Amino acid sequence: MLLERRVATEADTERVGAALAPRLHAGLVLFLHGELGAGKTTLVRGILHGLGYPGAVKSPTYTLVEPYLIGELTIYHFDLYRLNDPEELEFLGVRDYLEGKGVCLVEWAERGAGVLPAPDVDIVIEMTGRSPSAAQHMDVRERRQEEGRVVRFTSRTDNGAALLRELATALDGGTADDRHGRRKC
């Protein structure tokens, strides 16, 4: 199943994350893809705040993983941007995180290829509006202000498809289209 949303601001991206939050359950693995500054951590922030986490949320670029215990649910937020070799995940004890006791949100998952399992949902965030060459000359903050985003959720498992159907219903107030759920947030 594919679900697509256009978001114009960081707040819109957080709202999509907040809508996803109450539908998450232990055992889910979600991969977040997008270039630097695309909004991966912003989406995670929306998820965490949507679950009731009151604190600041930043990308765990240097620690690789940040756990959040919110009620009965543990969220593991991974950022593998600085990972040099997928085998480093073994030293981190990644299998312990993936044993189904929490939700794993993984930024830069492609850097863990061969060690990470397939995700339940792939989330791709792409910037829209400016040509890549024009955006290339802007800093991250300028790009965030100037461009909207397209957030694409693709299910890879039955659990992922069920999650996306629930998310589409929450965002639309109706039913999801199993091929494309394109609407502006």
d(C-alpha 46, C-alpha 48), whole Å? 6
Establish if 132 belongs to a structural domain: yes
Lowest mean pLDDT among 31-35, 117-121, 140-144: 140-144
Establish if 52 belongs to a structural domain: yes
pTM of the complete model: 0.84
Establish if 100 belongs to a structural domain: yes
Establish if 22 belongs to a structural domain: yes
Task: Give residue 81's domain range.
Answer: 2-152+164-171
Kindly tell me if the per-residue pLDDT of 135 is higher than 60.
no
Lowest mean pLDDT among 9-23, 72-86, 164-178: 164-178
Burial of 153 per CB tally in 10 Å (0-12, 13-18, 19+): buried
**Exposure class string for 24-63: b at 16+ Cβ within 10 A, else e:** beeebbbbbbbeebbbbbbbbbbbbbbbebeeebebbeee
Establish if 146 belongs to a structural domain: yes
Kindly tell me if the per-residue pLDDT of 175 is higher than 50.
no
Establish if 89 belongs to a structural domain: yes
The domain tally of the chain equals: 1
Residue 61 sits at φ, ψ, to 5 deg, of: -60, -40
CATH number of residue 65's parent domain = 3.40.50.300
> 182 Cβ partners below 8 Å, 6+ apart?
4, 5, 6
